[in-house]
Amino acid sequence: MAAWRAVASAADARPRIAVLTLRSKEDIARFVEAFVEALGELGYTDTRRAEIESRYADGDIRLLRPLAQELVAFKPAVSLAGEPSSARALKGVAPFLPLVCPTLTDAVIPDLVASYARPGGTVTGLAQSVEAITGKLLQLAIELVPGIARVGFLYNPSGASMRFFAEAVYQGARDHSMTVATENAQTPEEINSAFDRLIAQQVQAVLVPANGLFIAQRARIVQIALAAHLPTIFPQNLDVQAGGLASYGVD
């Protein structure tokens, strides 16, 4: 934090902060509110306000790079990436721009940081790679759906951490002699067809891992699942508030 303050102070009395996220403006509202509140605690109040420029990809990973280019033109002193994919986009267009990401995972090593303990370079943040946390989604499905033997797994090939999530689910399924039906959805338009295929395979519940696309499209996912009478297990309580069955994950 001290290093960030030094960069910001040196750049301008009103430091410019670029914020990029794969999520929608509504989905990230609580996050931004907490961020602005913390800026106030650091002295960036009405009399010395930080200038924040934000861009939202609304779940479409294809928009991240052009949005990152827009933000770099804003000439920020530091950038804030909502998720690893946003961090990659910012680093790709501005490799020397200081960058903070609150959701770093194992997948970003070594692309963004050398290690959690000593990240090096221009990227820092918080790690949310809690061991086997995605496997807990499967455990919840087992506890909540009696006799479940076949579970669906929604997979976004563009997700930086998706491979790690899938491995945890596959291992848990092997331990319980269960079958996992995995279907890809890389864009909002592909979610419907992915669910059609899961339904055709007669899955008894669907696991939806942490992913910017799936967060942005939670309303669509819940609507499809409810219409098919399919229980859904998510990583965030906001997903349950939207109509999902249960959630387990980092707040």
Collapse the DSSP code of 26 into the 3-class scheme (helix H, G, I; strand E, B; otherwise coil) and give the result: coil
Of 105, 83, 102, the C-alpha closest to 34 is 102
**CB-count burial class (<10 Å; 0-12, 13-18, 19+) for 131:** exposed
Collapse the DSSP code of 42 into the 3-class scheme (helix H, G, I; strand E, B; otherwise coil) and give the result: coil
Of 187, 192, 185, 198, the C-alpha closest to 231 is 198
pLDDT, position 47: 65
pLDDT at 2 over 70: no
pLDDT per residue over 87-118, tens digit each? 999 999 999 999 999 888 777 778 888 887 78
Q: What b/e string do you get for 38-58 counting C-beta neighbours within 10 Å, with b at 16 or more? A: ebeeeebeeeeebebbbbbbb
| Alpha carbons 228 and 221: distance in angstroms, whole number | 11
DSSP-assigned letter for residue 187: S
Tell me which amino acid residue 62 is: R
DSSP-assigned letter for residue 74: T
Question: DSSP characters for 199-234?
Answer: HHTT-S-EE--S-HHHHHTHHHHHHHHHHTT--EEE
Q: Where in the chain is the domain with CATH 3.40.50.2300?
A: 2-127, 135-247
Considering the four listed CATH numbers 3.40.50.300, 3.60.15.10, 3.40.50.2300, 3.20.20.140, the one that applies to the domain covering 135-247 is: 3.40.50.2300
pLDDT per residue over 71-83, tens digit each? 999 999 999 999 8
Query: Are the beta carbons of 236 and 210 closer than 8 angstroms?
Result: yes
Contacts of 219 (CB under 8 A, 6+ apart): 242
| Alpha carbons 237 and 36: distance in angstroms, whole number | 23
DSSP-assigned letter for residue 47: G
- Maximum C-alpha span of the chain: 62
* First CA to last CA distance, the chain: 21
pLDDT per residue over 23-77, tens digit each? 889 888 888 899 999 999 988 877 678 899 999 999 888 999 999 999 999 999 9
Average model confidence (pLDDT) for the chain?
A: 89
Specify the pTM: 0.71
Query: Are the beta carbons of 221 and 232 closer than 8 angstroms?
Result: yes
Over range 140-159, report the average pLDDT.
95
pLDDT, position 130: 60
Q: What CATH code would you report for 2-127? A: 3.40.50.2300
- Structural tokens at position 17: 């902060």
Over range 162-180, report the average pLDDT.
93
